[in-house]
């Protein structure tokens, strides 16, 4: 095959209508819409999301449809096996385990979601301000973060739980003291990559304040990192609550949480294993589903990580 000589005569302007040249080939989509479309293509994440929705629905509706509440004792029905009267059986005080499991799930989810929300609020604000202001302010703020990282989070939580009365508020405060550090570091790293880009410099030239730059330009461009990290924070908080309640420094009887129920079931595991099995399955499902959903969100919001 002979090489053809390329000349200007071979080229010419393409003929197209003026309206067709500016026509968008497909409807525009936001980052959330693109992420949702990619998330729906991940079957594992969709199944995990469906299971989580069912568990959340049961956590709020389960006790309402039960014949018995979670705290009423019935010494004539002690340690009844699961059956028509008590779907998950009863405990050592004759309390209905179905109501206690779903009420405990509600409490554990409440603690985890509120703690994750506080971590998100503090972490995003701290990381954004540190990265945007930079210089000496950033150096001082990062030294504070390094000090908190050097202290194991579990030690901080245990010490606070020992000096404060056990309760939902104490658990949330204890888990929020240093739980925001990882979020702050991730947000800071993302904003450091964005702060010198053209759209931020243009906003500065137009006189936009630092607060508006953070709220309107920087945080919306780090939503992917924020959502993904939050999805991994929730199961971590659930595990922390369950661990503290299991070792006896979290919530206590007659209050119910997944950790309290697992602790109660562990004490009678040899004779009444169902009291441990049911709350253990629920907490495993929650943690596994949140982890799978977090992986799916990471792949959905970061196209470079799609399989």
Domain ranges of the chain: 34-61+87-305
Residue 8 has pLDDT above 70, yes or no: no
Position 1 confidence tier, pLDDT thresholds 50, 70, 90: very low
In 3-state terms the chain splits into helix, strand, coil percentages (rounded to 5) of 70, 0, 30
Q: In CATH, which superfamily holds the domain spanning 34-61+87-305?
A: MetI-like (1.10.3720.10)
The predicted pLDDT at position 251 comes to 77
| pLDDT above 50 for 306 | no
Query: Which of 154, 161, 159, 158 has the alpha carbon at shortest distance from 179?
Result: 154
Length of the chain: 307
pLDDT of 50 strictly over 90: yes
Residue 49: which H helix or E strand, with range?
helix 43-65
Identify the residue with better confidence: 197 or 15: 197
Instruction: List Cα–Cα distances, 4 to 1, 58, 282, in angstroms.
Output: 9, 72, 71
Q: How many CB atoms lie within 10 A of CB 233?
A: 25
Q: Can you give the pTM of this predicted structure?
A: 0.77
């Amino acid at each position: 095959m002979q090489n053809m000589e390329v000349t200007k005569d071979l080229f010419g302007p393409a003929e197209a209508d003026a309206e067709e040249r500016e026509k968008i080939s497909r409807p525009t989509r936001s980052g959330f819409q693109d992420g949702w479309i990619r998330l729906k293509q991940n079957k594992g994440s969709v199944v995990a999301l469906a299971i989580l929705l069912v568990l959340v629905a049961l956590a709020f509706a389960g006790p309402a449809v039960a014949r018995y509440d979670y705290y009423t004792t019935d010494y004539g029905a002690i340690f009844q096996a699961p059956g028509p009267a008590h779907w998950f059986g009863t405990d050592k005080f004759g309390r209905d385990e179905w109501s206690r499991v779903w009420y405990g799930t509600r409490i554990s989810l409440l603690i985890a979601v509120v703690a994750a929300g506080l971590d998100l609020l503090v972490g995003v604000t701290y990381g954004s301000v540190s990265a945007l202001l930079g210089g000496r302010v950033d150096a001082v703020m990062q030294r504070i973060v390094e000090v908190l990282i050097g202290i194991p989070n579990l030690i901080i939580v245990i010490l606070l739980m020992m000096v404060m009365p056990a309760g939902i508020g104490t658990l949330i405060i204890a888990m929020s003291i240093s739980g925001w550090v990882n979020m702050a570091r991730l947000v800071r790293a993302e904003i450091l990559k964005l702060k010198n880009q053209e759209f931020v410099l243009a906003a500065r030239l137009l006189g936009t304040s630092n607060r508006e730059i953070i709220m309107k330009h920087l945080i919306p461009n780090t939503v992917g990192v924020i959502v993904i990290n939050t999805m991994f924070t929730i199961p971590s908080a659930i595990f922390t609550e369950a661990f503290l309640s299991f070792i006896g420094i979290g919530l206590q009887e007659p209050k119910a949480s997944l950790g309290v129920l697992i602790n109660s079931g562990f004490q009678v595991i040899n004779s009444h294993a169902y009291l441990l099995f049911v709350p253990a399955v629920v907490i495993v499902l929650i943690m596994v589903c949140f982890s799978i959903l977090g992986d799916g969100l990471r792949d959905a919001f970061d196209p470079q990580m799609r399989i």
